[in-house]
Amino acid sequence: MAYHIYHTEAIVLATRDFSEADKIFFLLTEQFGLVAASARGVRLLSSKLRYALREKSVCLVDLVRGRDMWRIVNAYPSDKSPARLSPAGALFLGRMSALVLRLVRGEGRNTSLYAVVREALSFAAGDMPEGEMLRAEAAAGAKILHALGYWPEKHAGVISAPLRDAFGMEETVRREIVREINASLRESHL
C-alpha cells in the first residue's frame, strides 16, 4: 500500500519520550496546524532525524498519515531556525509553546497562529533583555489568543505591532493585558 508523503515546514513546540527509542513531536505547521507525530528510533545515537528535530526549532519534515497519528519519515534542519537561544529567549519560547499546546485542540489550518509563533521564534533568537521579557510575553500571549479567537479587539495596537515594539509598552498596559489573558483562559475553560 502506497502512502502519500506530505512535505511541510514545522516548528517543534515540544517532545515526549515514547517507548524505548521513539519520541512524539508536537509540531505546528502552516499547512495542517498542530500535529502530533511520532518518530521511530529518534533517540538512538545513530538516528539521522535527531539533529533536525530539536525543540524550539524550525525544520522541514516529511509526514505520513498513519491510522492513529502522523509519522515523521524524514526531517531536515531549516536555515530559518535560530542557531542559539539565550536563557531568556528559551524561557520565552517555552511559555509560548505551552500556551499554544494548552489552547489548540485537534488539527486545523491556522496561518495567523503559525505566523505569530514564527515571529516569536525569530524574536527570541535576538538579544532579549531579561527585564523586558515580561512585556514581550504579554504581547505574544495576546497575539496567540487573538489568532485563536479568544481575544477581544481591545489593544489592537499590541496585536498588529511587531513583538519588538513591546519593549516600549507601559507597565500599566502590560498588567491590563495579563489580566485579560488570564480572564480569557479562565473563560475558555482550557
Note the pTM of the prediction, 2 decimals: 0.87
In the CATH scheme, what is the code of domain 5-77? 2.40.50.140
pLDDT tens, residue by residue, 62-113: 999 988 889 999 999 887 766 677 788 888 889 999 999 999 987 888 899 9
Question: Residue ranges of the alpha helices (H) in 36-165?
Answer: 87-103, 111-125, 133-147, 156-160
What does the domain layout of the chain look like in residue ranges? 5-77, 87-188
Looking at residues 126-148, what average pLDDT do you find? 83
22, containing H or E segment? strand 22-29
Cα gap 29→10, rounded to integer Å = 5
